[in-house]
C-alpha cells in the first residue's frame, strides 16, 4: 500500500516559506524552470500545470541535459531544507576533524538520535546523482516527493522509533562548477570545462562504502541505541553488507534487522562464505524486490539465497521503496518486539555475555 501524500503529508502545505519556486526565482533560470510542487507533492509547471518537459530546447540535447541538472541541484537544496525545517533533522558535517577549507560531506539525524537508548533507523539509498533524503531524483521529477524522497520513511521512523539517521553516500566529490555557482545552461564547450577528473574527493566520504563506514564508526556504533535497523535500497544493500563484513561483531550485536529493497548485494561473494554472517543475514534480514506479485508475497530468488525475499508490490525499481514502506515498518516492528521478548526472558542474550563467550573461544 502506498503512502497517501494528501492525507499524511499535508504538513508541507503549511510551510509557505519553503518552496522550489522561491529557489528558482532567486536564480537566473526563472523562465526555463517555472516549476513547483503541488499539494500532492507532484512537480508541475506554474503556467500549464504540466509535468516536467525534458526537451525544452529544440535540437540542443546538451542544453536540455544541463537544464535537467540545474533543476536537480535546486531540488536537492529544497529537500535539504525540508529535512531540516520540516522533518526537524540536524545536519552533521563530516569528517569531524576537518580543517578549515577542507572539502566536507554531511548527513542528517534527528535530535537526540545518538542518546536515545531504544531504537534507531538508518536510511541508505541507491547510488546515483541524488543526495540525502532522496530515493531517486528521476522519481521525484516524474512521480513526486512521496515516491522519490525519504521523507515518508523519516516521518514513519520518528513515529514508530526514537531516532533516525539519513546517510548521504553519494556526496563524494567537490564539483568545482557547483562550488563556484556556475550552474548554467551552457554550450557544449562550456559544459566540458569542468570534468569529473578535476573533482576533489571528500575525505571520509570518497565512496558510499567509506561514507557509511565513517558514520558507523563515529556515530552509530557509539550511539546509546540498543536496537538499530537499516533500510537499504539498491546499491545501499551492497554497502551495508560491506559494512557488516568490515565490522562484523559490532554490526551483528547492534543491528537487529535490515530491510533490503531491490538490493545489489551478493552474500556469497561479499561475505566470503562466512557462515556466521550468512546465518545472521538469514535470520535478521528480509528483502523486498520488484515483482508482479502482490505486496509481501514470497518471491523465489535462486541466485541469492540469503534471506527471505518478498514482493515490493511493484515491478518498477524506482517505486519499490514507497510501495513497501508500510510493510517494511510492520516487519521491523515485529522483529523488534520479538527481540525484546527474548531479551527479557533470556539473560544470556546480552551483548556483554556475547563478548565473554567470544573471548572464551
| Mean pLDDT value across the chain | 84
- pTM score, two decimals? 0.86
> CB neighbours of 13 closer than 8 A, spacing ≥ 6?
39
Task: Name the stretches of the chain with pLDDT < 50.
Answer: 1-11, 13-16, 180-182, 185-195, 348-361
Give the pLDDT confidence of 184-234 residue by residue, as tens digits. 544 333 444 444 556 789 999 999 999 999 999 999 999 999 999 999 999
Q: Which of these, 58, 87, 65, lies nearest to 183 by C-alpha position?
A: 65
Give the pLDDT confidence of 73-83 residue by residue, as tens digits. 999 999 999 99
Yes or no: is domain 5-359 CATH 3.40.50? yes
- Give the per-residue pLDDT at 300: 78
Strand 43-45 and strand 200-201: the pairing is: unpaired
Q: 264: which 3 cell numbers?
A: 545489489
285 exposed, middle or buried (CB, 10 Å; 0-12, 13-18, 19+)?
A: buried
Give the pLDDT confidence of 308-320 residue by residue, as tens digits. 999 999 999 999 9
Quote the CA–CA distance of 273 and 289 in Å, as a whole number: 23
278 exposed, middle or buried (CB, 10 Å; 0-12, 13-18, 19+)?
A: middle
DSSP string, 195-244: -GGGPEEPTT-SSHHHHHHHHIIIIITTSS-SEEEEEEETHHHHHHHHHH
Quote the CA–CA distance of 217 and 298 in Å, as a whole number: 35
Give the pLDDT confidence of 151-190 residue by residue, as tens digits. 999 999 998 877 999 999 999 998 665 554 445 544 333 4
Amino acid at each position: 500500500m502506498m503512502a497517501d501524500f494528501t492525507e499524511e503529508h499535508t504538513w508541507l502545505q503549511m510551510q509557505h516559506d519553503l518552496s522550489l519556486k522561491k529557489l528558482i526565482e532567486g536564480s537566473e533560470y526563472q523562465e526555463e524552470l517555472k516549476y513547483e510542487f503541488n499539494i500532492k507533492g507532484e512537480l508541475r509547471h506554474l503556467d500549464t500545470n504540466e509535468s516536467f518537459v525534458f526537451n525544452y530546447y529544440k535540437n540542443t540535447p546538451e542544453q536540455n541535459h544541463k537544464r535537467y541538472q540545474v533543476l536537480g541541484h535546486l531540488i536537492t537544496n529544497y529537500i535539504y531544507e525540508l529535512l531540516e525545517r520540516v522533518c526537524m533533522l540536524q545536519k552533521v558535517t563530516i569528517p569531524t576533524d576537518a580543517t578549515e577549507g577542507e572539502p566536507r560531506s554531511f548527513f542528517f539525524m534527528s535530535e537526540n538520535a545518538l542518546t536515545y537508548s531504544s531504537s534507531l533507523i538508518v536510511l541508505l539509498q541507491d547510488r546515483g546523482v541524488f543526495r540525502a533524503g532522496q530515493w531517486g531524483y528521476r522519481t521525484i521529477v516524474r512521480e513526486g516527493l512521496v515516491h522519490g524522497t525519504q521523507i515518508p520513511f523519516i516521518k514513519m521512523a520518528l513515529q514508530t522509533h526514537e531516532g533516525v539517521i539519513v546517510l548521504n553516500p553519494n556526496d563524494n566529490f567537490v564539483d568545482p562548477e557547483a562550488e563556484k555557482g556556475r550552474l548554467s545552461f551552457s554550450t557544449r564547450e562550456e559544459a566540458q570545462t569542468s570534468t569529473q577528473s578535476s573533482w576533489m574527493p571528500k575525505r571520509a566520504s570518497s565512496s558510499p562504502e567509506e561514507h557509511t563506514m565513517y558514520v558507523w564508526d563515529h556515530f552509530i556504533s557509539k550511539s546509546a541505541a540498543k536496537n538499530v535497523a537499516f533500510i537499504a535500497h539498491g546499491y545501499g544493500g551492497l554497502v551495508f553488507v560491506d559494512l557488516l563484513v568490515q565490522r562484523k561483531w559490532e554490526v551483528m550485536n547492534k543491528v537487529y534487522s535490515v530491510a533490503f529493497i531491490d538490493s545489489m548485494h551478493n552474500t556469497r561473494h561479499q561475505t566470503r562464505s562466512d557462515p556466521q554472517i550468512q546465518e545472521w543475514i538469514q535470520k535478521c534480514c528480509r528483502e523486498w524486490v520488484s515483482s508482479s506479485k502482490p505486496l509481501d508475497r514470497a518471491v523465489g530468488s535462486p541466485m541469492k539465497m540469503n534471506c527471505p525475499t518478498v514482493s515490493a508490490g511493484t515491478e518498477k525499481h524506482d517505486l519499490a521503496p514507497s510501495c513497501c514502506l508500510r510493510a517494511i515498518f510492520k516487519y521491523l516492528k515485529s522483529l523488534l518486539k520479538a527481540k525484546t521478548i527474548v531479551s527479557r526472558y533470556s539473560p544470556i542474550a546480552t551483548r556483554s555475555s556475547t563478548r565473554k563467550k567470544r573471548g572464551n573461544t
